[in-house]
């Protein structure tokens, strides 16, 4: 066995290495929605929201007229006259348009992916066709 000082130094090295390893595992990147991701745009408020935010009603205001039928797979979503579905690339950079603040608040647009997520094999929030996977 080493001296007390050597044991303390070894313990400090192990603790520091553990902290650094944990910190590295939780480094993250933010993946933006692909240009072909579908969103619902509110033409009057000039906002747009992800499909999951619309379905789960996490919006500044309602975009669906038949909210009571949302769980029925045989019923199509009916939108208010001021709402329509577009690709996110169509509205993301338009002057005067912005993300719906309620949807943005709950991280309804981007995907945060940590190094640990990548190591464990994460699944993208979007399909290759731009459909949301929530």
Q: How many helices (H) and strands (E) does the chain have?
A: 5, 6
Question: What gap in Å lies between CA 112 and CA 122, rounded to an integer?
Answer: 11
**Nearest residue to 24 via CA among 133, 130, 116:** 116
Give, for all 134 residues of the chain, the pLDDT tens digit.
568 788 888 888 888 888 887 777 777 788 888 999 999 999 999 999 999 999 999 999 999 999 989 888 898 889 999 999 999 999 988 889 999 999 999 989 998 888 888 788 888 888 888 888 87
Strand partners for 111: 31
């Amino acid at each position: 066995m080493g001296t007390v000082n050597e044991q303390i130094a070894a313990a400090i090295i192990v603790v520091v290495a553990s902290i650094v390893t944990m910190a590295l595992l939780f480094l993250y990147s933010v993946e933006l929605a692909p240009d072909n991701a579908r969103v619902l745009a509110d033409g009057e408020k000039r906002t747009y929201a992800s499909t999951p935010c619309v379905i789960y009603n996490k919006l500044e205001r309602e975009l669906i007229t038949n909210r009571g039928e949302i769980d029925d797979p045989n019923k199509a979503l009916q939108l208010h006259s001021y709402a329509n579905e577009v690709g996110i690339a169509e509205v993301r950079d338009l002057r005067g348009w912005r993300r719906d603040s309620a949807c943005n608040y709950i991280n309804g647009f981007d995907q945060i992916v940590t190094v640990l997520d990548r190591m464990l094999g994460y699944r993208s929030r979007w399909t290759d066709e731009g459909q949301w996977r929530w």
